[in-house]
Amino acid sequence: MARRPISMRKTKEILRLKHELGLTNRQIAASLNLSHTCVGQHLAQARQVGIGWPFPADLDEDRFRQLLRMAASPPPPKRYLPPMAEVHRELQRKGVTLQLLWEEYQRAHPDGYAYTQFWEYYRRFCSQLEPVLRQPHPAGERMFVDWAGMTIPLWDAQTGQSRPAYLFVAVLGASNYTFAAAFENTRSPAWIEAHMQAWEFFGGVTRLTVPDNPKTAVTYACRYEPELTTSYQELATHYGTVVLPARARKPQDKGKVEAAVQHAERRILAGLRDQRFFSLGELNVAIRRALQALNDHPFQKLPGSRTELFAELDRPVLLPLPTTRYELAAWRQAKVNIDYHIQVDWHNYSVPYRLTHQTVDVRLSERTVEIFHRQQRVALHPRSHHSGGFTTDPAHRPKAHQRHLEWTPMRLIGWARNQVGPQCAAAVSYILEHKPHPEMGYRSCLGLMRLSRHHGHSRLEQACQRAVVLDVCSYPSIKSILESKLETQPILSTPATLVTHNNLRGGHYYQ
């Protein structure tokens, strides 16, 4: 707990009671409502700076305060000591420790301070810094990310209404180099896109990524084994980083980004508060300008700026970016229907027929549909937006279905001509042509194939010839001819003579 400063008037009273009246420290403390330790310290400080009794008449309040601060500050080192700001910067580099820096210091200055005193000077230096700078982070190791609490309005030029835009902030642990960009919302696509833009802004990827516990990142927040969303885990794998969420309700785990968000709100959003933006692109151009100024702004208590530290510490050790950007995908579950297809977004995609009635996981990207069963990919299709349509891989069908679908009209006609004869080919052509759809005649043609195996090609050819002449080309008719053995009966070459009778009305009756 900090000691309350004592005024010059009370200090003069302490000196008077001590030197004129000869009171003890405890008696002075009781008289002035102070602790005896505080009385002793101020008497020692007064002796150290040469203030005695009677009190100097020309000593004003400001000079008195200055003398007390000089007495309270540690004496300057008597031997060479490297600037502690440089020591602090070196410690941000990967693998560098205070022991290593002290050993290098000892080799250059054998008469220098021992390690204990060297450490004490560094500790005093760190005590003057902000708390968030006391945590050393190796260069290129961590990127901290979060959404800012403040929003900025986007205006509609036609209606005059505004909607909020949300600021995403990412900061590197060693250099405090900061990225910021605005997005329409904080949903999963924006969350994923924000990370990719941040890594592209930094020109590389950190080994660890530290977010909070939003639903877009974590499905189950656990201190020991948090469960990431599938898309976020895929993103981390694609970019070669490891996601390490902060503990729930422990903002100190991501103190870097908490401070970065505060700087972004004060130096970026607050600076744009009087401007009106009508598009996200226009807003982000203004944010990028303010962000450059933020990164170039010199530190208050350390030499250099975020940009300079980034170039020196983080940039050389960042992991390289992948050759392609991550493609955001949505995950669904679907059940395989009896026709070995699943329906996703009102379109049907095939899977291997053995998975009928099974539940599968579906990964939907902008261009592809991947289907997984027990973490194994079993199907890959180009994505289609044709509602009610079917996308089928022939290899997914059972063998019997494949053989059935291999029959086409030309193949059936060719079979009839080559295996049986031209009359059978004519009968097959007639059947296919006189159906509303050729596939409706497939079964009839396959029936003729069965008749050839039972009655022989020669008899079938004769039966088809009779059916063609009599214009009765159908499977039932040809089958009846064969069963009745009519294929060998002579066919009348001229039509029968029409009967004339008074009761027959004739065609003129219907004119």
Q: Is residue 504 part of a domain?
A: no
Given a cut of 50, whether residue 411 has pLDDT beyond it is yes
Residues 301 and 172 occupy one common structural domain? yes
134 is a domain residue: no
How many domains does the chain fold into? 5
Same domain, 336 and 477: no
pLDDT of residue 450: 84
Per the domain annotation, does 501 fall within a domain?
no
User: Following DSSP, what letter does each residue of 145-203 receive, concatenated?
Assistant: EEEEEEEEEEE-TTT--EEEEEEEEEEETTT--EEEEEES--SHHHHHHHHHHHHHHHT
The answer to the question of residue 511 being in a domain is no
Query: Which residues, 6 or more positions from 225, have their beta carbon under 8 angstroms from its beta carbon?
Result: none
Contact between 489 and 445 under an 8 Å Cβ cutoff? The reply is no
Residues 450 and 431 in one domain: yes
Q: What is the mean pLDDT of residues 427-440?
A: 75
Q: What is the pLDDT of residue 42?
A: 76
In the prediction, which pLDDT does 61 show? 66
Asked if residue 393 and residue 265 are part of one domain, the reply reads: no
Least confident of 9-23, 283-297, 334-348: 9-23
More confident residue, 492 or 11: 11
Tokens of 115: 């390690």
Query: Residues of the chain with pLDDT > 70: what percent?
Result: 85
The DSSP secondary-structure symbol of 100 reads H
Of 230-239, 351-360, 385-394, where does mean pLDDT reach its minimum? 385-394
For residue 93, what are the domain limits?
84-128
Please calculate the CA angle 269-262-321 and round it to the nearest 5 degrees.
Answer: 85
What pLDDT band is residue 142 in, cutting at 50, 70 and 90? very high
Q: Which two tokens stand for residue 194?
A: 């924000």
Once rounded to an integer, what is the mean pLDDT over residues 493-500? Answer: 56
In a domain, 491, yes or no: no
The verdict on 429 and 286 lying in the same domain is no
Q: Do 108 and 243 sit in the same domain of this protein?
A: no
Contact at 8 Å (CB) between 429 and 396?
no
Same domain, 243 and 292: yes
pLDDT at position 133 is 42
Q: Looking at the structure, do residues 109 and 35 belong to the same domain, yes or no?
A: no
Q: Exposed, middle or buried: residue 167 (CB in 10 Å: 0-12, 13-18, 19+)?
A: buried
User: What does the pLDDT read at residue 507?
Assistant: 61
- Across 204-329, where does the E strand assignment appear? 208-210, 218-220, 227-228, 242-243
Give the pLDDT confidence of 244-277 residue by residue, as tens digits: 998 877 777 788 888 899 889 888 988 888 899 9
**505 belongs to a structural domain:** no
Which of 400, 426, 449 delimits the end of a domain? Answer: 400
At 111-130, the pLDDT tens digits run 888 898 888 888 888 777 65
- Do 468 and 414 sit in the same domain of this protein? yes
Distance CA 484, CA 462 (A): 13
User: Which tens digits make up the pLDDT trace of 383-409?
Assistant: 988 888 889 888 888 876 655 555 667
In this model, does residue 286 exceed pLDDT 90? yes
* Candidate from 70-74, 373-377, 432-436 with smallest mean pLDDT: 70-74
Question: Domain check: are 62 and 197 in the same one?
Answer: no
For 465-490, the pLDDT digits (tens) are 888 888 888 888 888 888 888 888 87
Tell me: pLDDT of 31 over 50.
Answer: yes
pLDDT band at 1 (very low <50, low <70, confident <90, very high): very low
Whether residues 187 and 309 share a domain: the answer is yes
Q: Which residue has the higher pLDDT, 11 or 358?
A: 358
Task: Decide if 452 is inside a domain.
Answer: yes
Residues 124 and 260 in one domain: no
